[in-house]
A and B are shown apart, each in its own frame.
Chain A
Amino acid sequence: MQLTPLALIMMSVFAPAIAGLVTLFLPRDRTTPRTLIALVGLALPVAALLYFAQTLGVGAVEPASLTIPFVPSFNLDLAFNPDPLGMFFALLVAGVGTLIVLYARAYFGDDPDSLFRFYPTLGFFATAMLGVVLADNMLAMLLFWELTSVSSFLLIGWERNDRKAVRLAFQALAVTGMGGLALLGGIILLALATGEWSFSAAIPALAGPHESLPAANLIPWAFALMFLGGATKSAQWPFHFWLPGAMAAPTPVSAYLHSATMVKAGVYLFGRLSPAFLGVDFWAATLISVGALTMLLGAYLALRSTELKKIFAYTTVSQLGLFTCMFGLGAFTYHDEPNLVWPVTQILNHALYKAPLFLMAGAIAHAVHVKSLTGLRGFARTNPLLAWITLAAAYGLAAGPFTLSFAAKEAFLYQIYHAIEHEPLLWIVAGMAVLTSVCNVAIFVRFLTTFLARPDAEHAAEHHHDHDHAHDGWSVWLWLPALFIVAWQFAGGVAPSLIERFILPVETHALYWSHLPTVLDAIAHPSPPLAMSGVAVLLGVLVGVLPVLRRPVADPHDSIFPASVSFLSRTGWGVFSSIQTGNLRHYIYFTLTAFLLGMIAAALKDPAFLEWPALASLWAAPTGFIIASLCLVALVIAASLSLPIVNSRIVRVLMLGAVGMSVTGIYLIYEAPDLALTQLLFEIISIILFLLVLRMIPEEPPLAPVTGRIGRAAFSMIVGLAIGWTVLQAGAHADSSPGPAKLGDWFLTHAHYGSEQTNGRGGGGDNVVNVILVDFRGYDTLGETTVLAIAAMGIFSLIAAVPRRRRDRAHAVNPEWLTSSLLRTSMRLILPLGLLFAAYLFFKGHNEPGGGFIAGLVASVVLATYRMAKGPEALRRLLPIKPGALAATGLMIALATAVAPVAFGLPVLTSRTGDIPLAGADPFHFSTVVFFDLGVLIVVIAVSVGVINRLTEELET
C-alpha cells in the first residue's frame, strides 16, 4: 500500500508513545513481549523516516501538506517539517532509542516492575522528542518541548524513596520548566513580530528586511526569551547545574535523554533559529560567550570529578557549550556563506561517543558495582571487554586521530580560526577551546592509566565474586549497543565517506567543505588549528599523567537552586505574613484603604465629582416638616455617636435601638409607611436578639486600652465622608430635573392599571411598593425570603453543632425571670388580637401598607412575646411544626406560586388579579400573588419565632 507523507510522519512521531501504552496492558511478568513491543515502537520511526527520506527526499515536502489541525483559532496545529535539521535529529532520537530499549532490558534485568514503568515513559519521551525536532508549528514544538521536560522529571525521580533523587528531579523540572515558559513568551513575541506561527514561514520573514514585519521592535525580546528557553534546556551556564543532577536517573535515561537527545533540544533550537537571528546584533556575542564559558567550565568540572556518570555529564555540558558557541560563530561569514562547518556532523559525533560512555558506565556498575573511576584500577585486566569498549569511546572524547571527533574538533577550530579574521577578540575563544580539549585528553589519559594499572588486591577480589551476575540471553545488550555505536566513531574517522553518505542529505552547511577533514588531510595541509590540537594533546597527556587537579571539587552552582527556592519562599512568606496577619481589624483597615484609594483615583479621573452638586434648598419645605426632620437627624447622629463612647453593653444595644427608631422616623418623613412598619418590627426583633445573645456571652475581662483612637476616628470619618459624598452626588442627580427616566415612574403608572405597553395588564394593586415586591420584582422577594430561611438553617445547625458547656449553663436564667404574671395573663387577650391584626395587614397589603412581611413580623412579635410569657411548651402547642420544616413549607408555597405560571406557558411569577363579588359588600379584591405573599408570611414567622425560641432555650435552665 502507498503511505501518504502525513501518515509516515504521524506514524514516526506517535508510534513510540502508542507502543508504550500498549505495553501497559501486558501482565507485568511478560517482559519479553513488552520489550519487543517497545522495540517496534522505536524501530518503526527509523524505518518510516528513512523510507520518507528515500522516496520523498529531505525537506522536499511542503509543511502545509503535513498538517493536522488541532486548535486553528490559536494557530496551534500539528504541522511537521522534516527538513535536514529535523530529519537528522529525528533519526538520531529514534535510532539511539531503539538501542536503548534493548539496553534497558539488559540493564533492569528481568525486574518486571521497572520495565513496566520504564517503557511507557520512554515511549512517551521519544514521541515528545520526535515532535520537538519535526514540528513546524512553533506552538506544537512548544507542546512537545514541555512534554519532554515532564517525562524527564518523571525519569529523574525514578528512585522515589530517595529524597535526593526527588529533589534533583524537582530541580530539573524547575529549570527546564522555566525555560519552557520563556520559550512560550519568545514564540508569542516572534509570532507577533513576524505575523507567522510556523518556523518555515517565520524564519524566512526574519531573514528578510525587517521593515516589512508587523512589529520588528519585538524581535530582540523574542530572541532573548527563546535563548533563555534553549539555554536552560541545553544546560548552558548558569543553568547547567541541573544536568549533572539529572544523573540520579537510571543509566539508560542518562544515556538517552541527558546526553544523546533531550539536552540537544536547545542546541537544535539555536540551529533552527540561527538563520533568523543573524540580524540581531547581539545574537553572535551571546551565543559565543555563553557557549564558550559553558564549554570550558564543563570540561574543567569533568576533570575534577571521579564518579563516572558525573564525568560524562560534565563533558556533555562542555560539548553543549561547544555547539552553542558553534552556532554563534555561524553568524560570521566565510566565502559568503555562514561560517558553519558540518554542524550536524559535530552533533552526531557527540552522540557517537557520549552515548557509549554512559552505556558503559551502566554496564560497569552492573558488572562490578563500581561507580567511580578510582575504583577501576586494572579494570582492563579483570574485565577487558567492557574496559576496551569504554576506552574506545573515551578515545573519541579525547578527539584522537582516526575518530570522527577529530574531524569535528578540527572543523570547530577552523571555524574559530575563520571567525578571528573578522573579530580578533575571538582568540580568547580559541584559547578556551584548546583548554577544553586539554581537559578531554587528560580525562582519556586518566581512564587509560587507571584501566591498565595493576589492580589493587581488594578490588580484584571484589570483581571476581561479582562476575556471576544475571547472565540471561539479554545481558549481551549491556555492551553490544555501545560497541555498535562507537564503531561509527572510527568508521567516520578512518573513512569519512561512509559517514558522509548518510550525513550529506541532512547536513545543513557543508557546502564549501566537500568532505570531512581526516587526520591525514589535516597533516597534508598544516594550519594553525592543527597546531592548536597538537598543543592540546601534549598538555592533555601531561595533565593526565601528572598527579594534579585530581581532587574532586563541587560545582558552586549547585547551590543556586536551593538558594533561589529558599529565597522565593522567604519572600513569599514575608508578603503573606505581613498582610495575612489573621487579625480582622487589620483586614478591615486594608480593605477599606483599598476602597478609599479607589475612590480617590475616581475623584482624580473625574474632578467634577468633587464639585458641590446643585441641591434643592433645605428650607423649601413646610416648617413642621423641617423641624421634624432636623430633630430626627440630630437624634440619629447623637445616638450613633454615643455608641463608641458608652461602655455598658446594654446601653449600647438600646442606643442601637434608638438609631433604628429614628431611622423609622426618617422613613415616615420620606413617605414610606411600609418601610417604617417593617423597620420598626425588625428593630424590635433585632434588639431582642441582641439582648439574648449578649446574655449568652458574659462580660469579658476588659481588653487592654485601645491605642490610636484618633487615627482610627479620622480614618472612619474619611470613609464615611467618601460614601456620604457619593450618596449626595447621586441623590442630587436623582432629584434634578430633568433627572434620568426612572423605573419608579413606570411602576407608579402600572401598579394598578396597565398600558398598551403591557396590553392593559397592570399590577392590580394600589400599594405600589407591595406590588413591586410581590410582582414586578418578585425575584428579589423570593431571594430575600430564601436568605431569611438560610439564616435560620445556619443558626439551627450552628447551635446544634456547638452546644453550651457547663460554664455557659452558669449564666442560664430561670424562665420565670423573663416574664411577669401580668404579661402571662394578658396574653389571653394579646395573642388573638395581634394575630387578627396580622391577618388584616396581610390581606390589605396589596392596596394599603401591609403585606406578607409586615403581617409576618407582627405575628412573630406577638408569638415571641407569647413564648416569653408562657414558655416553649405553649409555643409548641400553638405551632406544632418544627420551624425548619415550617420555613421550608413557606418557601415551597412561594416557589410553587412563582413557578406555576410556567406550566401554563407564561413566564415565572406572572400574576392574575380580579375582584370576587361579595353579596352586599364591596367586591373582594383578589390576586394570585396572595399565595406568594402567604409563603413569605410563613417563612418570616417560622424564622423569627424559631430563632428567638431557639436562642431563648439556650438561656433557660
Chain B
Amino acid sequence: MTLLLAVIVTVIFAVGVYLLLGRELKGMAMGIFLLSHGANLGILAMSGQPVRLTATGPTPLGPPVLTEATQPVDPLPQALILTAIVISFAVTAFLLTLLVATFRRADHLGADELANDDRPTVLTTP
C-alpha cells in the first residue's frame, strides 16, 4: 500500500508541477490544487499500512474510533491531513478570486504576458 501511495504521490506531483510550469494561470492554479492532494496522500503514507500481517494472516486495521473492536490505524496523520485540507481549501479559494481580480485588471492570465508588466529600470551612473 505504501508503495501504491508513493506511486500516486509521484504521479500527482509530476502532473501538478507540469501544470505549474504551464503558461496560463488557471492551469497553474489547478496544479497547486493537485499538489495539495499529493501532499495529503504523502502524509497519509506516514500512518503505515492499513493492513497488518498477524499470525492469523493479514488483518485490516480499523478507523481511529475507539468504539470499533479492531486495532485502529495511527490517527495523527489523519488529523494533520484534516488541517491541511482546510488550509489548502482556504488558499485555493483565495487564489481563484485573485485570478479573477488579476484578469479584471490585466485582461489576460498568461504568465508570459504578465511578465512584462512594470519591470524595473537600470541605473549605471554614480
Which residues of A does B touch, CB under 8 Å? 167, 170-171, 561-562, 565-566, 569-570, 573, 576-577, 581-585, 588-589, 592, 615-616, 618, 620-622, 625, 629-630, 633, 636-637, 640-641, 643-644, 649, 652-653, 656, 659-660, 663, 666-667, 669-675, 678-679, 682, 685-686, 689-690, 693-694, 696-697, 700, 703, 706, 712-713, 715-717, 719-721, 723-725, 727-728, 730-732, 734-735, 739, 742-745, 747-748, 751-752, 766-769, 772-773, 777, 780-781, 783-785, 787-788, 790-792, 794-795, 798-799, 801-802, 804-805, 808, 847-849, 853, 943, 947, 951, 954
User: What is the distance, in angstroms, from A938's C-beta to the closest C-beta of chain B?
Assistant: 14
Minimum CB–CB distance from A573 to chain B (whole Å) comes to 4
Q: Bits for B9-25, please: 1 = Cβ < 8 Å to A, else 0.
A: 11111111111111111
Q: Name the distance in Å between A644's Cβ and chain B's nearest Cβ.
A: 5
B110 touches A703 (CB 8 A): yes
Instruction: Determine the chain A residues whose CB is within 8 A of the CB of B112 once the complex forms.
Output: 583, 585, 703
Is B116 an interface residue when CB atoms closer than 8 A count as contact?
yes
Of the listed residues B17, B51, B82, the one surrounded by the most CB atoms of chain A closer than 10 A to its CB is B82
Q: Roughly how many angstroms separate A583 CA and B28 CA in the complex, as a whole number?
A: 13
- A768 adjacent to B72 (CB under 8 Å): yes
A739 to B45, CA, bound (A): 14
Q: What are 5 A-B residue pairs whose CB atoms fall within 8 Å in the complex?
A: A641-B11, A669-B50, A670-B1, A719-B14, A752-B66
The residue in chain A whose Cβ has the minimal distance to the Cβ of B90 is: A791
Residues of B within 8 A of A801 (CB): 101
Output the residue of A644, A724, A947 with the most chain B CB within 10 A.
Answer: A724
A670 proximity list for chain B (CB < 8 A): 1, 44, 47, 50, 73
Instruction: Give chain B nearest CB distance to A174 CB in angstroms.
Output: 8
Q: Tell me whether B125 is interfacial, beta carbon within 8 Å.
A: yes
Q: A656-B33, A694-B26 are in contact. Are A727 and B96 (CB under 8 A)?
A: no
B55 within 8 A of A: no
A397 to B86 Cα, complex, angstroms:
83
Q: How many A-B residue pairs have CB under 8 A?
A: 349
Bound-state Cα–Cα, A167 to B116, Å: 33
CA distance in complex: A948, B51 (Å): 40
Taking the closest CB of chain B, its distance from the CB of A444, in whole angstroms, is 36
Residue from B77, B91, B97, B126 within 8 A of A951 (CB atoms):
B97
Q: Do A697 and B109 have beta carbons less than 8 Å apart?
A: yes
Interface of A: prevailing SS = helix
Partner of B93, one of A561, A565, A566, A791: A791
Tell which of B2, B13, B46, B115 has the most Cβ of chain A within 10 Å.
B2
Instruction: Kindly list chain B residues whose C-beta atoms are within 8 Å of the C-beta of A804.
Output: 104
Docked CA distance A794–B94 (Å): 7
Counting chain B CB atoms within 10 Å of each CB, the highest count among A585, A739, A801 belongs to A585
**Bound: A582/B124 CA distance, A:** 21
- Is the CB–CB distance between B23 and A585 below 8 Å? yes
Distance in Å from the Cβ of B118 to the closest Cβ of chain A? 8
B2 with A693: CB separation less than 8 A: no
A769 to B86, CA, bound (A): 15
Tell me what chain B mostly uses at the interface: helix, strand, loop, or mixed.
helix
Choose one: B10, B40, B96, B120; the contact of A720 (CB below 8 Å). B10
In contact, A573 and B124 (Cβ under 8 angstroms): yes
Complex contact B79–A780 (CB within 8 A): yes
Tell me the minimal C-beta distance from B126 to chain A in angstroms: 5
Q: Are B115 and A581 in contact (CB under 8 A)?
A: yes
**CA A712 to CA B22, docked complex, whole Å:** 9
CB distance from A582 to the nearest CB of B (A): 4
- Flag if B23 contacts A589 (CB, 8 Å): no
Contact present for A693 and B44 (CB under 8 Å)? no
Q: Which residues of A contact B25 (CB under 8 A)?
A: 584
Query: CB within 8 A of B96: which of A693, A728, A781?
Result: A693
Known: A643-B34, A673-B63. A565 touches B124 (CB 8 A): yes
B71-126 residues with Cβ-Cβ distance < 8 A to A are 72-83, 85-87, 89-94, 96-101, 103-105, 108-112, 114-117, 119-120, 122-126
Interface residues on B, range: 35 or more
**Which one of B17, B48, B98 contacts A715 once the chains associate, using CB atoms below 8 Å?**
B17
Which residue of B is nearest A732, CB measured? Answer: B2
User: Contact at A723–B74, with CB atoms within 8 Å?
Assistant: no
Cβ of A170 and Cβ of B65 under 8 Å apart?
no
Whether the pair B38, A731 counts as a contact (CB closer than 8 A) is no
Complex Cα distance, B97 from A954, in Å, reads 11
Residues in B whose Cβ lies below 8 Å from that of A625: 51, 60
In the complex where A584-B28, A585-B111, A766-B65 touch, is A731 in contact with B11 (Cβ < 8 A)? no
User: Which 5 residue pairs spanning A and B have beta carbons closest together?
Assistant: A724-B10, A720-B14, A744-B74, A791-B90, A731-B45
Minimal Cβ-Cβ distance residue in A for B116: A582
Query: Is A582 a contact partner of B65 (Cβ separation < 8 A)?
Result: no
Give bound CA distance, A690 to B95, whole Å: 10
Chain B residue nearest in CB terms to A743: B76
Min Cβ gap B6→A in Å is 4
| Contact indicator B20/A588 (Cβ below 8 Å) | yes
- If A562-B125, A731-B46, A802-B105 touch, whether A697 touches B12 (CB-CB below 8 Å) is no
Q: Using Cβ atoms and an 8 Å threshold, which residues of chain A touch B14?
A: 713, 716-717, 719-721
A847 to B125 CA separation, bound complex (whole angstroms): 71
A737–chain B nearest beta-carbon distance, Å: 9
Q: How far is the CA of A700 from the CA of B98 in the complex (A)?
A: 17
CA distance A652 to B33 in the complex (A): 12
A723 touches B13 (CB 8 A): yes
Q: Determine how close the nearest CB of chain A comes to the CB of B109; give it in whole angstroms.
A: 7
> Which residue of B11, B61, B116 is within 8 Å of A637 (Cβ)?
B11
Selected from A653, A672, A788, the residue in CB contact (under 8 A) with B81 is A672
B40 and A663 within 8 A (CB): yes
B16, B48, B105, most chain A CB atoms within 10 A: B48
Which residues on the B side are within 8 Å of A715 (C-beta)?
17, 21
Tell me the complex Cα distance, A364–B101, Å: 69
Which chain B residues border A622 with CB–CB below 8 Å? Answer: 51, 58, 60
- Which of chain A's residues have a CB closer than 8 A to the CB of B73? 670-672
CA distance A674 to B120 in the complex (A): 50
Q: Which of A577, A678, A747 contacts B76 (CB 8 A)?
A: A747
CA distance in complex: A785, B83 (Å):
9
Max count, chain A CB within 10 A of own CB: residue among B4, B17, B28: B17
- CB-defined interface of B56-70 with A at 8 Å, one 1/0 digit per residue? 001011111111000
Least CB distance from A180 to B in Å reads: 19
Known: A569-B124, A582-B115, A715-B17. A767 touches B82 (CB 8 A): no
Whether A588 pairs with B21 at a CB distance below 8 angstroms is yes
B76 shortest CB reach to chain A, Å:
4
| A697 touching B26, Cβ below 8 Å | yes
CA distance A943 to B109 in the complex (A): 26
Instruction: Decide: A633 and B7 in contact? CB cutoff 8 A.
Output: yes
- In whole Å, how far is A100's beta carbon from the nearest beta carbon of chain B? 29
Residue in contact with B109 in the complex, picked from A171, A592, A700, CB distance below 8 Å: A700
A620 CB contacts on chain B under 8 angstroms? 51, 53, 58
A763 to chain B, nearest CB (A): 10
Distance (Å) between the CB of B101 and the closest chain A CB? Answer: 4
* Residue picked from B67, B85, B87, B119, most chain A C-beta under 10 Å: B85
Cβ of A331 to closest chain B Cβ, rounded Å: 38
Bound: A481/B91 CA distance, A: 75
A686 to B91, CA, bound (A): 11
Does the CB pair A723–B9 fall under 8 Å?
Answer: yes
Most buried by B among A673, A719, A723: A723
A637 near B17 with CB under 8 A, answer no
The residue in chain B whose Cβ has the minimal distance to the Cβ of A641 is B15
Contact yes or no, B74 A745, CB < 8 A = yes
Contact (Cβ within 8 A) B93 A629: no
A768 to B47, CA, bound (A): 14
Contacts of A570 in B (CB 8 A): 122, 124
Q: Which residues of A contact B1 (CB under 8 A)?
A: 616, 618, 621, 629, 669-670
Interchain CB contact under 8 A, B38 and A723 = yes
Chain B neighbourhood of A693, CB < 8 A: 96-97, 99-100
Q: How far is the CB of B108 from chain A (nearest CB, A)?
A: 6
B25 to chain A, nearest CB (A): 8
How many whole Å from B72's CB to the nearest CB in chain A? 6
